[in-house]
Amino acid sequence: MHFTQHTSNANKEKHCDEGIHLTLKVPTSPYPFWESHRYYGYAASIKKRVKHTLVNTFASTVFSDKKTALPFSLSGQYRLTIETDIPGQGITAIFGPSGSGKTTLLRCLAGLECVPNSKVQFKGSVWQSPSQFIPPNKRPIGMVFQEPSLFSHLTVEENLRYAIKRAKPFPSHGSATPNSEINKNVINKKTLVELLGIEHLLNHNTKVLSGGERQRVAMARTLLTQPQLLLMDEPLSALDAARKQEVLPYLERLKEELNIPVVYVSHSVEEVSRLADHLMVIENGECTAAGSIHTLPLSPSVHFQSESQQAVIIDAFLSERDTQYGLIKADFPGGHLWVKDSGNALHSPQRLQIQAKDVSIALTEPSNTSVLNRLPVVITEIRSSSNAMATLVLTIGNDDNHSTQLLAQVTKRSVDNLGLQTGMPVWAMIKSIAIAR
Amino acid sequence: MMTLTQDDWTAITLTLQLASIVTTILLIISTPLAWWLARSHRWWKAPVNALVAMPLVLPPTVLGFYLLVAMGPAGPIGHFTAFFGMNGLAFSFWGLVIGSCLYSLPFVVQPIQNAFQAMGNRPLEVASTLGAGPIDRFFSVIFPLCKPGFITGAILGFAHTVGEFGVVLMIGGNIPGETRVVSVQLYDHVESLQYDSAHGLALILILFAFFTLTGLFIVQRRQQTGMIVQE
């Protein structure tokens, strides 16, 4: 499967303007995109069509943006106020409780909501500014909705062809050579249909498909428009637990196979820890935290997980197999762990999740214990969380660029009994490790 | 018993001609109007909705009367046509077309409007994120998904125009081959006590109405089962 070259090359070419910049002020009732003229007037679209002509001057003088004075700004009520940057690579999870504005953010990014006084910029090209609004059909995006939303008047195959016919050409990003021919089939139908396991459904009517199948078809359809940015709005939340487990592996395969930045809205900790590279937490219409999935769960202000579920996510690399005991060695910066062999290939990446409550502390190297994974660590921070418990931030490995952090949850009494202090070298015993992927 | 004269056939042809033209015009007018009524949040949507629906409750003679006045030589439409050197629209086929369009408007607008509302915004959003522009969206998504609404509207508009009597009598009069439609012809037969001919035309109208409505309910049932399966 070789449809990743272009995007990676493109990423190398663009040293600046890599990611997505967003400045959003979303009122409580924004207009749908087909009424964008209410904010931008017809001038914006007219201007676009007759660029570099005399009419341009005429349009801007005659239809100057009279409509930017907006009634609701007087009330000052916003559903979402955000100014942020989203990385142009990997999966960024927008995480937060229901009604926090996650979906609104995604819809603004897609251009489905037309919001004034806002700015959306993707890799240097402006999608929305106070004077300009690019409608969704002209943005190089793909969107997977919460409900599969297949066209019921078309078969599965026709749904896919609908997307292929309208595949979005890659914008030139200011470079003079539009290399659309090379990119036209970056994601080809055959590979994708195999990847998502929907080849046997192609001739079916969409109405006979199960929820999971529909969502997989919807994903294929979205990807076939050759998007440069994939937006996913809780794609698994409409599915029951079993269907979710059916679709998640496909999502992970997509992540490995395609090199498109993804913005993934979710309120599920499980999905986020399995898929995300970056995390953005939204609460009450504001971004409360943003950062890498590996470091963000360490910061105390993040309500990403409830206290009892605090966990870190480590991206490890499988290096050695112990066939006698059915274990596999997972290397990560600063150390290694032995985990249950789940049959994944050697030399492949493996995401591990270690819960804070599964990590305990010993002052000396524990020798007579059943715990297999014992690591020398340094306490970098002691945080008293609730009444009885304290959370320790532990660093494995002494080199700054070559270390990994862990969380451990212990009682405050143990902190005092052992005399634990910041900077102290101790041993961490890890009782269980979840294989997140 | 059934004896159709040459005049009867002329009336039937004229009626079908009128109904076809009116249905075509109405489908073209109603689509944007129904879209606006289904999507707009403006306050004047309610009055516009009422205006469109008014022929449903108004006696046809009221509409016919005002149209007659407006199209007459002293009315605004009359002035307009006179200014451009055209004949008056009153007592003409095209006057009848205008009257029928107004009178059958709600029967075409409302099914289409309902279909637009039932469809929701999601298919449009999906289509646009897949790269479909506004016109593309209409033909590739809106029209196929709302086809039953369009069919219902067309059938009702056509059938209602065929069955119209009051407006025709008011603004069309009774000119053979020009404004004498089936319903007026039937009225003439009864007036002149030609019950045999009246029977013939009445039976044709009854059969027409029956089969049209049967067809309509088949379309609607298919639409409903389609929706159930979709869920």
pLDDT in tens, A377-433: 999 888 876 678 888 889 988 777 788 888 898 999 999 999 999 999 999 999 888
CA B187 to chain centre: 22
A162 touches chain B (CB under 8 A): yes
pLDDT at A210: 87
Asked if A322 and A312 count as a contact pair (C-beta separation under 8 A), the reply is no
Asked if B146 and B119 count as a contact pair (C-beta separation under 8 A), the reply is yes
Q: Which of B35, B41, B121, B130 to mutate to test the interface with A (most CBs of A within 10 A)?
A: B130
B121 touches chain A (CB under 8 A): yes
Specify the higher pLDDT residue, A38 or B49: B49
Helix axes B45-53, B6-39, angle to 10 degrees: 170
Cβ pair A141:B121 closer than 8 A: no
Compare all CA atoms of chain B with the CA of A208 and give the residue at the minimum distance.
B229
Q: State the pLDDT confidence band at A311, using cuts at 50, 70 and 90.
A: confident
Average pLDDT over residues B21-38: 95
Q: Is the dihedral of CA A207, A209, A212, A217 positive or negative?
A: negative
Does residue A349 sit in helix, strand or coil? strand
Specify the higher pLDDT residue, B79 or B35: B35
Eight-class DSSP state of A84: E
pLDDT in tens, A135-192: 899 899 999 998 888 999 999 999 999 999 988 765 544 443 444 444 444 678 888 8
Residues 6+ away with beta carbon under 8 Å from A194: none
Average pLDDT over residues A90-95: 90
pLDDT at B210 > cutoff 90: yes
Residues 6+ away with beta carbon under 8 Å from A414: A361, A420
Does residue A404 sit in helix, strand or coil? strand
- CA of A149 to nearest chain B CA: how many angstroms apart? 7
Asked if B63 and B55 count as a contact pair (C-beta separation under 8 A), the reply is yes
Average pLDDT over residues A313-322: 88
CA atoms within 13 A on the CB side of A183: 20
Contacts of A368-372 with CB under 8 Å at 24 or more apart are A369/A429, A371/A429, A371/A430, A371/A431, A372/A327, A372/A338
CA distance B138 to B132: 9
CA distance A407 to A394: 6
- Least confident among A45-59, A235-249, B190-204: A45-59
Question: What percentage of chain B has pLDDT greater than the value 90?
Answer: 53
Cα angle: A255, vertex A274, A150; to 5 degrees: 55
Compare all CA atoms of chain A with the CA of B141 and give the residue at the minimum distance.
A151
Asked if B165 and B96 count as a contact pair (C-beta separation under 8 A), the reply is no
Average pLDDT along chain A: 78
Q: What phi and psi, each to the nearest 5 degrees, are found at residue B194?
A: -90, 75
pLDDT at A342: 79
pLDDT in tens, B57-78: 999 999 999 999 998 888 888 8
Asked if A418 and A339 count as a contact pair (C-beta separation under 8 A), the reply is no
Cβ pair B145:A151 closer than 8 A: yes
Asked if B163 and B183 count as a contact pair (C-beta separation under 8 A), the reply is yes
Which of B129, B136, B145 has the CB atom closest to A153's CB atom?
A: B145
- Least confident among A4-8, A159-163, A209-213, B131-135: A4-8
DSSP string for residues in B133-154: -HHHHIIIIIHHHTHHHHHHHH
- CA of B133 to nearest chain A CA: how many angstroms apart? 6
Cβ pair A147:B144 closer than 8 A: no
Alpha helices in A115-240 (DSSP H): 156-165, 180-183, 189-195, 211-223
Does residue A428 sit in helix, strand or coil? strand
Domains defined for chain B, CATH in brackets: 100-224 (1.10.3720.10)
Cβ pair A163:B136 closer than 8 A: no
Alpha helices in chain B (DSSP H): 6-39, 45-53, 60-71, 76-83, 93-119, 122-129, 134-137, 143-145, 147-162, 166-167, 182-191, 195-230
pLDDT in tens, B120-161: 899 999 999 999 999 999 999 999 999 999 999 999 999 999
A213 Ramachandran zone, left/alpha/beta (phi>0; psi -120 to 50): alpha
Tell me whether strands A404-411 and A389-396 are parallel, antiparallel or unpaired: antiparallel
CA distance A43 to A32: 18
Q: Is the dihedral of CA A416, A417, A422, A428 positive or negative?
A: negative
Asked if A160 and A226 count as a contact pair (C-beta separation under 8 A), the reply is no
Asked if A356 and A391 count as a contact pair (C-beta separation under 8 A), the reply is yes
* Identity of the amino acid at A174: G
Rg (CA), chain B: 20
Neighbouring-strand partners of residue A331: A317, A336
Compare all CA atoms of chain B with the CA of A138 and give the residue at the minimum distance.
B131
- Least confident among A144-153, A201-210, B220-229: B220-229
Residue listed under structure tokens 């997505």: A20
Cα A236 to Cα A244, B105, B130: the distances in Å are 6, 45, 20
Structure tokens at A74: 């007087």
- CA of A135 to nearest chain B CA: how many angstroms apart? 8
Tell me whether strands A78-86 and A20-27 are parallel, antiparallel or unpaired: antiparallel
CA distance A23 to A231: 17
ipTM of the complex: 0.81
pLDDT at A355: 86
Q: Is the dihedral of CA A409, A412, A414, A418 positive or negative?
A: positive
Does residue A290 sit in helix, strand or coil? strand
* Identity of the amino acid at A77: Q
Closest CA relative to residue A313, chosen from A407, A244, A421:
A407
* Identity of the amino acid at B133: G
Cβ pair B131:A110 closer than 8 A: no
Asked if B110 and B178 count as a contact pair (C-beta separation under 8 A), the reply is no
